[in-house]
Amino acid sequence: MEDYKFLFKIVLVGNAGVGKTCLVRRFTQGLFPPGQGATIGVDFMIKKVEVEGEKIKLQIWDTAGQERFRSSTQSYYRSAHALILVYDISCQPTFDCLPDWLREIQEYANSKVLKILVGNKTDRDDREIPTQIGEEFAKQHDMYFLETSAKEAENVERLFYEIAAELIGQARSKDGSSSAAAAAAQRQSEGSSIGLGSFSAKAAQSNCCGGLASGGSNSSQGG
C-alpha cells in the first residue's frame, strides 16, 4: 500500500451470463476471453490505476452469478465501497431479476455503498431492454447507470474510472471537512438526481474520461 493513497473494494453482482467476468477481464487485462465458462466461485483481483493524479488500488470481487440468493451472509458485500449490478440488455430475465438483487444488496451491503447499474452487451443487435428503461430503473433505485460492451471495450474503462473518481471524491470530502458526516448525509438525501446526474454527465464527457483512461494504465495485473 505504500505508494497508494486509496484502496477501494468493488463487487460485481448480477445473473449468470450477463458478462461480469468479461467486464472485469476487459478492464484488468484488456482482453475479452472467448467462450468464458461460468465463474467457479468469487474471483478477486487487484488493479492499480491513476485517477486525478492519485495512485489507487481497486480490489475487484467478481461473484459467480448462479450463487445468488444463498443463505450465507455474502460477507464480501459488507466492506464494499461500490457495487456494480450487471444485466444483459439482450436478455429480459436478467433485468427482471434486478429487484431480487437489490433486496440482497439492501440486506447485506453498507447502506452508503455506491451502486451502479450496468446494462452490458450493447454490441448485440437483439436488444430487449431500451436504454431509457434501464436509466429509469437506476433513477428509481438511487443508482448510477451506464451501458457497456465488454466485447467492444465500450465504456468499460469509463465505468471503473468513474467509480474510482467518485470514491476519491467521497473520501476527500470525508477527509477534508469537519462536516464530513453532514456532507455524506446531504449526498444521501439529495439522492439519485445529483448522483445519477453527475455520473451521467461525466460519462457524457468523453474527453474527460479518455484523459483518465490513457493516464491510468500502469497496471501490474496479469503478469
What does the binding site for other proteins look like in residue numbers (CB under 8 A)? 1, 7, 9, 37, 39-46, 57, 59, 64, 67, 72-73, 75-76, 79, 220-223
Burial classification of residue 149, based on how many CB atoms lie within 10 Å of its CB (0-12 exposed, 13-18 middle, 19 or more buried): buried
Q: Which residues pair with 86 in a beta bridge?
A: 14, 118
Q: Which amino acid is at 175?
A: D
Minimum distance, C-beta of residue 69 to other proteins, in the bound complex (Å): 13
Minimum distance, C-beta of residue 55 to other proteins, in the bound complex (Å): 12
Minimum distance, C-beta of residue 167 to other proteins, in the bound complex (Å): 15
Q: Between residues 66 and 205, which has the closer beta carbon with respect to other proteins?
A: 66
Return the half-sphere exposure (C-beta side, CA atoms, 13 A cut-off) of residue 70.
14
Q: Between residues 40 and 204, which has the closer beta carbon with respect to other proteins?
A: 40
Measuring CA to CA, how many Å separate 196 from each of 30, 141, 179, 185, 199?
Answer: 27, 10, 23, 16, 5
Minimum distance, C-beta of residue 216 to other proteins, in the bound complex (Å): 18
Q: Between residues 34 and 37, which has the closer beta carbon with respect to other proteins?
A: 37
